[in-house]
Structure 1
Amino acid sequence: MPDAIKNILLSWGRGRNALLYGPPATGKTRLISELFEILNSPPEAEQGIWLDPAETETPFVRPELEIPIPRPVKVVWTTFHQSYGYEDFVLGLRPEMTSEGTQLRPWSGVFLDAALEISDPETDVNSVVIFIDEINRGNAARIFGEFMTFLDFDYREEGSVPLPLPLRQLSFESGVSEEIRRPGGKTATIPEGFTFPKHVYVVSTMNSVDRAAVPIDSALARRFDRIEMRPNLDVLGKLWGLTRETINAPTDENWETLSPFETTYLLLDRLNALIAGDLGPEFELGHGLLVSIQAAASDTGVPISEDQVWRDIARVWDDVLFPQLEDRYSGRPEQLIELLRVDSPPATGEIAWALRTTIGNSSPTRTLAPVRVSDLDLEIVKRSFRWLTR
């Protein structure tokens, strides 16, 4: 996580916006929420410490990079979704009751309001950072509209080709716009020829496998530095006291003795290798799906029994991991059967997954029989997950 934060700061320092992308549960939203809190802290805290949740022994470290944007900083959080529009992000018209009847008044959205905040002569803010979670959950090209141009710092104030804001929705008189309503009861006006201020920065996240999301187009994407967030086994290793060097590859001789944490670590590694080879790395499973599996109670620090850990693994499998696999392999039952090694079970002992049969017909179909692993006998749970590591 500290490396990703450094990359975001480096992008801002170069006059660029940052886009974190990758599979679900790789820490994208968590990372920008931590950065949000850091920037939202008093100035003396902004050069203080970084928190690395993956580092259990020394989670707090001194940053190697100073924040390269002028302070004080105002931070704004927003999440794109399917009903989010240009009116929310740039400029919208809302009805207002007056003595002359109902009139439409302009209201600034998040992006325009950031420009108005910096340009306000009474403000003490020198930079605004806009955090956009799930940028591809909305129609980003429509949400930005013509203001997509001003994601490029070259077209802002102090840029190489500064351009005036194209605010055709506003009426102007004597070179000044009508009043624009702002959040918090404030108002503002804009002079003709107003250019977008330099110090407005954007950091956003994008889920690389969400089929319900709208892909962002190339014109928008090229205005961001893309920072990939990949599944990270080291996060789980630090959480469970494991390292790559101390985990032996599962063999015919040792697979039945793997600990629950070794099993889960190796299982995620194998599943992601197979998914990446079949569907592509953007479809891998994020390590965050497994961080709820703990080695010790969070409130007391008392170690959790191995049997309980196995039960926790089965619960996470049923509620989190397997639904993700079903979604990725929707309409491809043979690939899912192969992934779960249904056709190649261990020589002795039952495993959780089997082919489905019908009443009165013992011939199996080529689909999986429904099962909740967490309801099975504990020995079957252990054998099943250990077998999947090979």
Structure 2
Amino acid sequence: MSQLVNIYTFLITNRKHLRQSWRNEYEDIVTRVASLRAELAKDGSYDLNSPEIYITATFNDKEDLFNRLFANTGNGVSSNGRSIFSGNNRSNLINDPGFLLALKNLIVDPSFKNHNDFEIIWNQKLGQNNPVLTNRTTAACTIDVTSTVDSGKFNQVFNWLIQKNLIAYSGGNTWYEKNKFVVAEIRKVLTNEKHYDVFWCNIFYWEMYENLANPFNLKKQLVKYGAPGTGKTYIAKEVSKLQFDIWKTEHATNKETYDDVHKVVQFHPSYSYEDFIEGLRPVLDANNQAQLQLVNGIFKTMCIAAGKWEVDVAGLTTVGKLHKTWEQLTVNDLLPFKEELKKSHWDYIFNISNKTIKVTEAIPPYFIIIDEINRAELSRVFGELMYCLEYRGVNGAIETQYNQLNTKQTGMIKLGGTYKFFVPNNLYVIGTMNTVDRSVESFDFALRRRFRWEEVKPSIGLLKYHLQSNRPNWIGLAENLSKLNEAIRKEPLLGKDFCIGHAYLMDLGYATDTTITEVRKLVWEDSISPLLEEYVRGTGRESEILETFVKNFGV
């Protein structure tokens, strides 16, 4: 179980700043419910209609309780997903004696029985099941279940933990029963960790869903998009480093470094296929004379490095020695061919103690981060990559425009007497793009469907955490940014894509004794105002819009 400790270190201890705001909100709702529980316990005749329980409790009244527990965004535990608690739902339930009794019982004793009863009466009263809403209500009543309230996502992590032999389970099949079990098991392992508490433990489960049990390997190319200054490129680097560190801890402590497996490139309007894949370039020969030669671009170079294991295995497959697909192969399957695979990049794989592990899990992940991916003419830059991104691996190998010029030094794999190119299964492509850029249309639909899209929004919580840790006297800037972005979202000519990212207010270079009033004015003049002026230029309402924004920012 030491592997779980390492994963916790990578996902929580080293990244607490990313989830600190959520953790605080999570503790807040659980503490509020616990306070209400204490009030209900004082007198057996009290129920959720009793005004006495709200006098010292942390909910204002029953209306406030409903608003917080069944919120249509987040309730501190989690978001509501696709489940909506409508005004009609509220009207039907807020004064219903049976529903209020079931909710009271759940608050007083969040047991499996009361959780189950609450689900049943929810269905009876509303004529529908909303497991995300009922599960997160239970999760607000007890910290003995995780904050992962979507059953499908919860089970993904649960099954992943079983597959990795991190837990063994033989109990009931409900969300509640599995939750109680897995939380107890994780606590046993993590209870002595320095940066551990029950809230981080439960959030850890969600982090495993996002980063391990459901990583972007289901769609091995993604684009992180959003407003400028939201840290898209920074996050892309952090995500790739996290995935590599976890792989290395589990499989190859002394193998590659992160620098070996990742590259960053920035696209621009003159970037070409020859820069990215391969092309003719002048190269000096032994006599210092320039000769045109085929030179591999950054992406093909990465593909050759990441695909060497697949190339070796393909050599065994084509001569009929192997009859399993790349995805099915285990280390055991390759042991008979140890001598034929006597290359340095296979050494650590054959030394892995668990020989039943799949080769796809044992080899390292490689990453190429494409900053400003939408600024190039993508169809021209990607070329045959359009096909290879959809059909990965050796089976998707194709001839490139320059395949006739390839040699053993520049070629990737020789099949049927000609050199071909493919995108390895362990290479991840992460693009970043600003949604306000005028070049967004370069991403046509054929390319869009080959990528998974993840929006990166301005994080007021992250900004608060950063300011509190580094410049607590400037923490009010977080609220200023929140109000400014709300005004930008409401402006019909702009909208959410034009919001100001939190990075504009982080790592400010002003003197530490500068007052927040002065800092606010300096940031506005140096960074924010010039950006907003460009956004509204030519609208005919420049002065009016900027006046609204400057007031909302508090200058």
State the TM bucket, normalised to the shorter chain. Answer: 0.5 to 0.7
Equivalent residue letter for 1:107: V
Q: Which residue of 2 aligns with 1:18?
A: 222
> Larger RCO: Structure 1 or Structure 2 (Cα < 8 Å, ≥ 6 residues apart)?
1
Q: Which residue of 1 aligns with 2:498?
A: 283
Q: Distance in 1 between matches of 2:215 and 2:404?
A: 36
**Which structure: larger Rg?**
2
The equivalent position to 2:414 in structure 1, one of 180, 190, 197, is 190
Q: Contact 1:132 / 1:202 at 8 angstroms: preserved in 2?
A: yes
Q: Post-superposition shift, 1:228?
A: 0.5
Where 2:369 maps in the other structure, the secondary structure is strand
Where 2:442 maps in the other structure, the secondary structure is coil
Gaps of 5+ in 1: 48-70, 182-186, 243-258, 298-303, 343-383
Q: Distance in 2 between matches of 1:227 and 1:46?
A: 27
Q: Post-superposition shift, 1:260?
A: 5.9
- Cα displacement string for residues 130-179 of structure 1 (whole angstroms, at most 9, x for unaligned residues): 11111112222211112121112xx1227xxx33312232227xxxx534
Q: Distance in 1 between matches of 2:210 and 2:231?
A: 15
Q: Cα–Cα, structure 1 residues 209 and 7, in superposed 2: closer, same or farther, change >3 Å?
A: farther
Query: Structure 2 matches for 1:1-390, cutoff 5 A?
Result: 1=18, 7=210, 10-38=214-242, 44=248, 74-96=261-283, 103-117=291-305, 118-119=307-308, 122=343, 124=345, 126-152=364-390, 155-157=391-393, 162-171=395-404, 177-181=406-410, 190-191=414-415, 192=418, 194=420, 196=422, 197-211=424-438, 215-241=442-468, 261-262=475-476, 264-277=477-490, 278=492, 279-293=494-508, 304-305=512-513, 308-341=515-548, 388-389=553-554
Q: Post-superposition shift, 1:221?
A: 1.4
CA RMSD of aligned residues (A): 3.8
Q: Post-superposition shift, 1:8?
A: 6.6
Higher strand share: 1
Q: Post-superposition shift, 1:337?
A: 1.9
Please list every run of at least 4 consecutive aligned residues from structure 1 whose deviation after the TM superposition is greater than 4 angstroms. Answer: 1-9, 36-47, 97-103, 120-123, 387-390
Equivalent residue letter for 1:235: L
Q: Contact 1:8 / 1:203 at 8 angstroms: preserved in 2?
A: no
Equivalent residue letter for 2:270: S
Q: Distance in 2 between matches of 1:112 and 1:44?
A: 24
- TM-score calculated relative to the size of structure 1: 0.62
Q: Post-superposition shift, 1:199?
A: 2.0
Q: Post-superposition shift, 1:388?
A: 5.0
Which deviates further from its counterpart, 2-11 or 314-323?
2-11
Q: Post-superposition shift, 1:282?
A: 0.9
Q: Cα–Cα, structure 1 residues 333 and 224, in superposed 2: closer, same or farther, change >3 Å?
A: same
Equivalent residue letter for 1:332: T
Q: Contact 1:75 / 1:130 at 8 angstroms: preserved in 2?
A: yes
Q: Distance in 2 between matches of 1:73 and 1:46?
A: 18
Q: Contact 1:208 / 1:282 at 8 angstroms: preserved in 2?
A: yes
Q: Contact 2:273 / 2:279 at 8 angstroms: preserved in 1?
A: yes
* Percent identical residues: 28
Q: Which residue of 2 aligns with 1:352?
A: none
Higher helix share: 2
Equivalent residue letter for 1:317: W
Q: Contact 2:412 / 2:420 at 8 angstroms: preserved in 1?
A: no
Q: Distance in 2 between matches of 1:6 and 1:336?
A: 47
Gaps of 5+ in 2: 1-17, 20-205, 252-257, 313-342, 346-362
